[in-house]
Structure 1
């Protein structure tokens, strides 16, 4: 069976609630390999909620649908404060990337409490700003950034990552609306360990199955290299997600 945009592969999925230090409850989901322990963990930070970004934004949703089965990777998704998806609405109100520091910390603390291995931050657009500004935590192995705009995150945040020393990978679409590969390489040059990967013909929203597959392959190549490259076919049971774009 070909793995298509709407394919949902088997996993142990359960709703979770994250508790922030400033007293909020955030809606989330944890997807684990159906059998055996995960080899790594993705902490997903979604796009801008005021522009319809949420934990169910399609690349993050498809990561949770595929990577537990294909790569033994745990995928944690959640709605930042004030954000709504089909999983529910998190408490609080949008903090323009500032009070969301507590949301990032709550997700990392959850991973630590659950004993999940090798957490990597996976940020997309606004989520990359959260990773860069608030992700330098000793528990974090590294960060993968999809379409980083570098609007809220400033040079001081890049300098903090340089000092942090953990891997930083930026996947930058050729036709991004905010930051394209040449400028991204210049901006990220102040982080010696940063890797900027330009993706030909891609756009900010990564619409289209070929681009989703490229993103998921790049992610797995860093966090679970033994599973790279990801297969495009699946022989076991699967479901179809009616909400997949």
Structure 2
């Protein structure tokens, strides 16, 4: 049985998955919409086990996959950092997306603690590779890297090593990713989209335009009123909307209330 077949057979459990979210419920805060959620493990080339979760649409295969890379673990970033958690809670149901979240080496969350210790963005090269190997093993379609803060550094540094459909950067600080690594995206044919908050703590729109000049194909989206941590439902909704516009525009605009049924799986994806 293929994994897609398993997804279809699991649709018999959709009533249980749907329980607790009434039609007409506003989609905001910590609401968790229907999805098939599986605790998973990733295995790195240097022998570590990383813990994570895969969230899938109910009763149908996903049309695209978000491979999420969380903010800096030494500053409190982990797989449950709120934008990534809300993407997993909402987008399988609203936009037919699979969402893979995991703790990079040495990072802890309620799901558990990944082996190893923080690698300063260097050891994590193997973590990204493990996530992409999992995507390939499961046959998950059209993978996009979704990095936030420190996670954007990993996406820039290592994304082009893998067969991805594109990468989305939330609040890129450009601390660890070099100009040469960013410049490698120029002419790559792989979409690179960066959301730059107006009031970011590290990289604001004017400086971002200068720093990203080495990758002129990159699409910079300056978010008025945005801040590095994207706190509040208005900023959360903007980020999730931009993600869906890039990865599966047929699912836009996202509903603001739960319609009571999962998204009609007639969507198409973009990217190579």
| TM-score band, normalised by shorter chain | over 0.9
SS of equivalent residue, structure 1 residue 8 = coil
- Provide runs of 4+ in structure 1 moved above 4 Å: none
**Partner residue of 1:134 out of 147, 158, 166:** 158
**Partner residue of 1:41 out of 65, 69, 77:** 65
5 Å matches for 1:1-245? 1-236=25-260
CA distance, structure 2, for counterparts of residue 108 and residue 91 of structure 1 = 18
Does the 8 Å CA contact 2:35/2:92 hold for their aligned counterparts? yes
Post-superposition CA distance 1:11-38 (Å, at most 9, x none): 0000000000000000000000011110
CA distance, structure 1, for counterparts of residue 83 and residue 130 of structure 2 = 22
Counterpart position of 1:243: none
Post-superposition CA distance 1:38-72 (Å, at most 9, x none): 01000000000000000000000000000000000
SS of equivalent residue, structure 1 residue 127 = helix
> How big is the alpha-carbon RMSD for the aligned residues of Structure 1 and Structure 2?
1.2
CA distance, structure 1, for counterparts of residue 123 and residue 77 of structure 2 = 17
CA distance, structure 1, for counterparts of residue 169 and residue 220 of structure 2 = 9
CA distance, structure 1, for counterparts of residue 255 and residue 56 of structure 2 = 19
Post-superposition CA distance 1:181-217 (Å, at most 9, x none): 1111121122132000011111100000000000000
Aligned length: 238
Higher strand share: 1
SS of equivalent residue, structure 2 residue 235 = helix
CA distance, structure 2, for counterparts of residue 236 and residue 209 of structure 1 = 21
Post-superposition CA distance 1:114-164 (Å, at most 9, x none): 000000000000000000011113411110000000000010111211143
Does the 8 Å CA contact 1:112/1:139 hold for their aligned counterparts? no
| Structure 1 unaligned blocks of 5 or more | 239-245
CA distance, structure 1, for counterparts of residue 116 and residue 187 of structure 2 = 32
Does the 8 Å CA contact 2:48/2:116 hold for their aligned counterparts? yes
| Structure 2 unaligned blocks of 5 or more | 1-24, 263-272
CA distance, structure 2, for counterparts of residue 52 and residue 187 of structure 1 = 26
SS of equivalent residue, structure 1 residue 162 = coil
Does the 8 Å CA contact 1:158/1:191 hold for their aligned counterparts? yes
Does the 8 Å CA contact 2:132/2:162 hold for their aligned counterparts? no
